Structure 1
Amino acid sequence: MERQEIEIFLALAEELHFARTAERLHLAPASISQTVKKLERRFGAPLFTRTTRRAELTALGRQLRDELGPAYEQVRAAIARAGQGLRVGYMSAAIAERLVPLVAEFPARVSIRETGLADLCGPLRRGEVDLSVLPLPIEEPDLTVGPVLLSEPARLAVPADHAADREHFLFVQGLPAYWIDHHLPAPSTTARITTLPGFQEVLAYVAAGLGVAVVGAQTERLYPRPGLKCEQIKGVFRYAFVWRADDPGSRLREEFVRAAQPRA
């Protein structure tokens, strides 16, 4: 079936009226009728029953609508995404340093935007970005984890001028429990966890001696703050490409992710 045939069939299956379908598609009513007759000859059976007032789907017509409709919507969504380019989200200055040169290789086709750690998966789920670089682990059934873009050692942010309770850990609010558990330096029955609105608040609380935080090694260089220092601990932060599991993707996304991989 050609694209116009699909559009006419699906519009008529929704409107169930030849004149309204013609008006909706800005076509002559005769063109709608001719296209339907052509399809029915091709399938060897009626797709609609017709009266003077309206049309009704036959069993074959309903089957075709139910199978063709979702597939066509996926195609339309893919075309729309291709037209708008690839929108990539990130939430770390270190990731931005890696993404900006990549974006330069795809002029006018890829755009980036900063997202918040407190809304880890929200921009992807709401369709605000097509691809995101997120700190692992991501264990969400509706999201697919792709290749890792960047790895960095973990550090423990502590106050430089205060004694801090090293069993009191500060994290950004909204993070999954499994994410926090993964990044705690070691299992502890005495550890206390406080969540705060954002990463900058976490650093401010640490500098004030109100707790400690597990951060990436980038923090000292990219987020310097008086009264805060970072100590070496075991652990690694890994940042990977993530996209929606129901997103069929595009060649542009594949090219972009491939371009981010280390080159021999």
Structure 2
Amino acid sequence: MERQEIEVFLTLTEELHFARTAERLRLAPASISQTIRKLERRFGAPLFVRTTRHVALTPLGRQLRDDLGPAYAQVQAAIERTTATARGDTGELRLGYMSAAVAPRLLELVCVLRTRSPGVDVTIAETTLADLYGPLRRGEVDLSVLPLPVTEPDLTVGPVLLSEAALLAVAADHPLATHPVITPDDLTGQTFLFAQGLPEYWIDHHRPTPAPIDPVPGFQEMLAYAASGHGVAIVGAQVEALYPRPNLVCVPVAGDPTFDYALVWRTEDLSPLAATFLRHIET
């Protein structure tokens, strides 16, 4: 049976009236009659008893309705779920983020998405500084909020969600700890701490002046090294509130540099759900 034949038959079993069935399906009444006669010829027996004032199912018609109805409902449900997923109205959206500072903004946007698209499930995972692009490239997340710049041929950068001041983190007893503002000349002879695995262009963007680099395993190690006097680090202003250390001081840098955090996704693989999330941000 073709889909229209199924729809005509099942609708007529509910309405038991040819004109109302035609109106409901937006078809001509003659088309309903032709479809039913065609089915009855195919099965070799009547499906409905018709009089000028009454339409009723025959035993064969009731059997076909009972067998066909649930199966057709499952097919319709599958089509609706697939359509909703393709529109980005349902399914699972996996989000990543790097930096606790951006988490409140991200959660705010997730709440908006859940309100507008209640069929969407959202999972959120934190990304480490030493593995910025790994979760995206491994397909573990659909979108990730990452610190700029991101200049990768396989990744696309979207809207910026947060900007915060970039500060110089130094030990409390470091000579630079008492400076009101750090200038490039102040950094002569200093060694900068950066997490291992960061792209060279990312380091060059955030390093205020050319200087030696000491790679460390990750963000927490970077703070620990700086606090113990084994180098200086460029950090976001969030460090003072979220990662306070009694022996670590954060000093403003001349020129008011910032850390900007933007949504990033795989260029060739933006899912419908991810596109929906981006639309909600824009509106």
TM-score range, shorter chain: 0.5 to 0.7
SS class of match (2:113): coil
CA contact (8 A) 1:91 1:116 kept: yes
Q: Which residue, out of 169, 173, 179, partners 2:196?
A: 173
- Give the aligned partner of residue 253 of structure 1: 274
Q: Deviations over 1:130-154 (max 9, x none)?
A: 0000100111000011111111111
- Give the aligned partner of residue 87 of structure 1: 94
SS class of match (1:85): strand
The alignment yields a C-alpha RMSD, in angstroms, of 2.6
Are 2:204 and 1:184 equivalent residues in the alignment? no
CA contact (8 A) 2:142 2:270 kept: no
Are 2:267 and 1:242 equivalent residues in the alignment? no
TM-score relative to the length of structure 1: 0.64
Structure number with larger C-alpha Rg: 2
Q: Distance in 1 between matches of 2:279 and 2:238?
A: 24
Q: Deviations over 1:202-260 (max 9, x none)?
A: 0000000001000111111111112001111131111111000111431x323322433
Change (3 A) 1:198 1:243: same
Q: Which residue, out of 135, 149, 155, partners 2:147?
A: 135
SS class of match (1:260): helix
Are 2:122 and 1:99 equivalent residues in the alignment? no
SS class of match (2:226): helix
TM-score relative to the length of structure 2: 0.60
Q: Which residue, out of 147, 163, 172, partners 1:151?
A: 163
The offset of 1:115, in angstroms, is 1.2
Q: Distance in 1 between matches of 2:149 and 2:108?
A: 25
Are 2:126 and 1:114 equivalent residues in the alignment? yes
CA contact (8 A) 2:156 2:267 kept: yes
Q: Distance in 1 between matches of 2:108 and 2:270?
A: 26
SS class of match (2:229): coil
Q: Which runs of 5+ in 2 are unaligned?
A: 1-81, 115-119, 177-185
Q: Distance in 1 between matches of 2:265 and 2:197?
A: 19
SS class of match (1:185): coil
Change (3 A) 1:92 1:125: same
Q: Distance in 1 between matches of 2:112 and 2:159?
A: 19
Letter of the 1:157 counterpart: A
SS class of match (2:101): helix
Q: Deviations over 1:68-124 (max 9, x none)?
A: xxxxxxx9xx76x97642111001111111111222233352221111110010000
Identity across aligned pairs (percent)? 60
